[in-house]
Amino acid sequence: MAERAENQADPKTPTENETNAPERISFSAKPTLEDIRRLQAQFTDERDWNQYHQPRNLLLALVGEVGEVSELFQWKGEVAEGLPDWSEQERMALSHELSDVLIYLVELAEKCHVDLPRAVLEKMELNRIKYPASKVHGSAKKYTEYQD
């Protein structure tokens, strides 16, 4: 919202529609992160798997699943947004692997007592402060590279 207001204030800054940015998709409202946490807790309780799901094991499982996502992109070169050249089977595999990453991330956060949705909002606020749109627009430099 704040970014849009800034864009409108500066006539030289293109709005999203004036750039070549592709249309953005939106997600389904459900399940929430709390739903995912609860469903995964149910899944592990039913199998008596909490004995294995300590933070370090969950972190390793998460990293392993990130590796599986990487494997799907491996050797393909740059991939266009929306994955236009991917088969249905490849898209399905990606949706499964990304879901595994999220499931383990949510459980890791739970087992570390991090309230993930709240933490994300806090972190995004910090990101906005660190990277003011008016200062960094169009530049991908790290905040440490700016001198002011």
Ligand X SMILES: Nc1ccn([C@H]2C[C@H](O)[C@@H](COP(=O)(O)OP(=O)(O)OP(=O)(O)O)O2)c(=O)n1
Asked if 103 interacts with ligand X (CB under 6 A), we say yes
Q: Under the criterion CB under 6 A, does residue 100 sit at the interface with ligand X?
A: yes
Looking at the Cβ atoms of 7 and 58, the one nearer to ligand X is 58
> Taking CB under 6 A as the rule, does residue 6 contact ligand X?
no
Provide, rounded to whole angstroms, the least separation between the CB of residue 29 and ligand X. 21
Minimum Å gap between C-beta 105 and ligand X is 11
Provide the 10 A C-beta neighbour count for residue 37: 19
Sole window of 5-13, 17-25, 44-52, 126-134 interacting with ligand X (rule: CB under 6 A):
44-52
DSSP string computed for 80-136: -TT-TT--HHHHHHHHHHHHHHHHHHHHHHHHTT--HHHHHHHHHHHHHHHS-HHHH
Dihedral of the alpha carbons of 57, 61, 64, 65, in degrees to the nearest 10: -160
Number of residues that bind ligand X (CB under 6 A): 6
**Closest approach of Cβ 44 to ligand X, in Å?**
6
Torsion of CA 102, 106, 108, 111, to 10 degrees: -160
Binding site for ligand X (CB under 6 A): 44, 49, 52, 68, 100, 103
